[in-house]
Amino acid sequence: MVNPIPNETELYAQIKKQKIMISWELWETLLYKCLGDFIVPIYLICRYYLSQNKPIPDSEARNILSCTGNIKYIVNEVIRVKKGDTLFPEVKNNTPLHPLIKDLFTYYVGNAIYLINLIVEYSLNDPVSPKQISVESTKQILDNIQQVRHFLYRLLKETASSPLPN
């Protein structure tokens, strides 16, 4: 699991003090719906196999890698691509992210996805064990994806440009 940023409380206080916002267009189009479309399957796969106390088989592990690849792509689109050079120009050109938000995204989402990929790739390519993700590794993946979900919710709560819907 990604370690919290040591000055996380101060960073969120800075977001609040400076009234740094993320528009609903960006949340709805990319962050909430698109990322959620790939976070939820990882979460559900892990929860299912943990409830059965079974390792995740190769095919489902590859589904996790597909989801993390899509998450990584979306985060790169939102954070790193230059204005006008993006898959989502109508959203991104009108809703640039504050550098502090970009840094938080890179740290929490980027690092968690990197760790998940390491766990899955190691599990699938380990020459000693079967091509599956152990129950213990599944718990680690679940911890990381829950951390991403928690981060997104907290960021939404702190930066929403209008009140959260009920």
- Show me where the domains of the chain are located: 21-159
Residue 129 has a pLDDT of 74
The CATH number of 21-159, from 3.30.420, 1.20.120, 1.10.357, 2.60.40, is 1.20.120
Residue 91 has a pLDDT of 55
Residue 137 has a pLDDT of 96
Residue 166 has a pLDDT of 47
**Exposed e or buried b per residue across 116-138, where buried means at least 16 C-beta atoms within 10 angstroms of its C-beta:** bbebbeebbeeeeeeebbbeebb
Residue 2 has a pLDDT of 80
Residue type at position 166: N
Residue 140 has a pLDDT of 97
Give every residue of the chain whose pLDDT is below 70, as ranges: 80-96, 161-166
Q: How many CB atoms lie within 10 A of CB 102?
A: 15
User: 98: which DSSP letter?
Assistant: P
Dihedral, CA atoms, 19, 24, 27, 29, nearest 10 degrees? -150
pTM of the model: 0.85
